[in-house]
Amino acid sequence: MNILSIETSCDETACAVVKNGREVLSNIIVSQIDIHKEYGGVVPEVAARSHIEVILPAIDKALKEAKIGWGSVDAIAVTTGPGLIGSLIIGVETAKTLAWSLKKPLISVNHLIGHIYANWIDRGIMDFPALCLAVSGGHTMLLEIKDYHNITKIGQTKDDAAGEAFDKVAKLLGLGYPGGPAITEIALKGDKLKFNLPRPMTSPLDKKNGNFNFSFSGLKTAVLSVTKEGIKRDEIPDLAASFQQAASDSLVTKVIWYLEKNKDIQTVMLAGGVAANTNLRETLRTDLEKLDFKGSFIYPEITYCTDNAAMIGAAAFYNQNFVDPLTLAAFPSGIDRL
């Protein structure tokens, strides 16, 4: 089954062709980073206008690179939400128009589910139950995946998302946008033990109470306090590295607590833009080894961690949520349709 998928929830115009949910025949991503960089973050109206300009050429390119014509497309999939409404509408209306005029089935995909299913790309088979740490610019959640259609939320952030914290701290440190890759890079030159930053919601009492939620606003404020006290320019890599380690520790702690209590978990997976962070991957790997976790630890290739349409094609194959092209609507917020 060849699925042509479209993803325009934020600032990437993405189109892909995915065969049977795991073989990526093409993966086109037109990034708007250079456009939004000068504002230090995504400007919603500018993002929507930019999607309009590039979406049709991106679809043509996805088909061309996949070396298929419309006759070989079995279904069209699109991200319906959550995301920026103006951006989502461009993808959704394009997908509806194509599906209706070409008489192709249309599949609606939740963006967060897409991030999770990026783990199925090039892999396919998965041992359940699985535990997923989904960390992006908009979400931070710990999820138990019992099988393909049974996902339970264990915990979530009470304030900022992990990616949002990376972006805000990068801005504070004058590292530019997007913050995650900038912090990852500069942290390589820094000493992560130099600044003592908090790991919110990881106290023994939180553990006793089974608190699997996350919080990043206190960590961000702690970085702000350090900068207000005044740091030398050459200490910026140390502060970035200390922040990155505090963020990784806060996330990984909850994964480990859950595994300590739930010995049946077979697979631990990362998903979302922050899953591209090498420090997070290595911190989790080390702690899983310390725990003597015998299952598998997986994460998507970096291209499939941040926003892309291949993950939407994968999710669409495993969750064939067919919808009517005449009535489908984008939804900007909420994860009710998880």
Q: How far is the CB of 115 from Zn ion (least distance, A)?
A: 6
- Selected from 276, 288, 310, 330, the binder of ligand KG4 by CB under 6 A is 276
Nearest CB to Zn ion, comparing residues 136 and 253: 136
> Which strands make up the sheet holding 296-298, listed edge to edge?
150-156, 140-147, 130-135, 267-271, 296-298
Binding to ligand KG4 (CB under 6 A): which residues in 203-242? Answer: none
Distance, CA of 141 to chain centre: 10
Alpha-carbon gap, residue 164 to 143, rounded angstroms: 19
The yes or no reply on residue 8 touching Zn ion (CB under 5 A) is no
Alpha-carbon gap, residue 194 to 238, rounded angstroms: 6
Q: Which does 190 bind (CB under 5 to 8 A by kind): ligand KG4, Zn ion, none?
A: none
Q: Which does 181 bind (CB under 5 to 8 A by kind): Zn ion, ligand KG4, none?
A: ligand KG4
Q: What angle do CA 225, 226, 230 make, to 5 degrees?
A: 110
- Selected from 306, 313, 314, 315, the binder of ligand KG4 by CB under 6 A is 306
The token pair that represents 322 in the structure block = 């067919």
Q: Which does 166 bind (CB under 5 to 8 A by kind): Zn ion, ligand KG4, none?
A: ligand KG4
| Residue at shortest CB range from ligand KG4 | 180
17, 25 in Cβ contact below 8 A? Answer: yes
122, 33 in Cβ contact below 8 A? Answer: no
Residue 234's SS3 state is: helix
The token pair that represents 207 in the structure block = 């553990």
Q: How far is the CB of 13 from ligand KG4 (least distance, A)?
A: 13
- Selected from 73, 250, 307, 330, the binder of Zn ion by CB under 5 A is 307
The token pair that represents 190 in the structure block = 């820094």
The yes or no reply on residue 178 touching ligand KG4 (CB under 6 A) is yes
Nearest CB to Zn ion, comparing residues 289 and 301: 301
Options 90-98, 100-108, 133-141, 250-258: segment touching ligand KG4 (CB under 6 A): 133-141
Contacts of 164 (CB under 8 A, 6+ apart): 137, 138, 216
| Count of residues near Zn ion by CB under 5 A | 2
Nearest one of 278, 290, 319, 326 to 111, comparing CA atoms: 319
Contact string (CB under 6 A) for ligand KG4, positions 138-157, x = contact: x-------------------
- Selected from 136, 140, 202, 242, the binder of Zn ion by CB under 5 A is 136
Nearest CB to ligand KG4, comparing residues 112 and 259: 112
Contacts of 16 (CB under 8 A, 6+ apart): 4, 5, 7, 24, 25, 26, 27, 28, 62, 308, 309, 310, 312, 313
Nearest CB to ligand KG4, comparing residues 31 and 267: 31
Q: How far is the CB of 67 from Zn ion (least distance, A)?
A: 28
Options 147-155, 216-224, 249-257, 266-274: segment touching ligand KG4 (CB under 6 A): 266-274
Cis bond before residue 332 (omega within 30° of 0): no
Residues that bind ligand KG4 (CB under 6 A): 10, 115, 136-138, 163-164, 166-167, 178-181, 184, 272-274, 276-277, 306-307
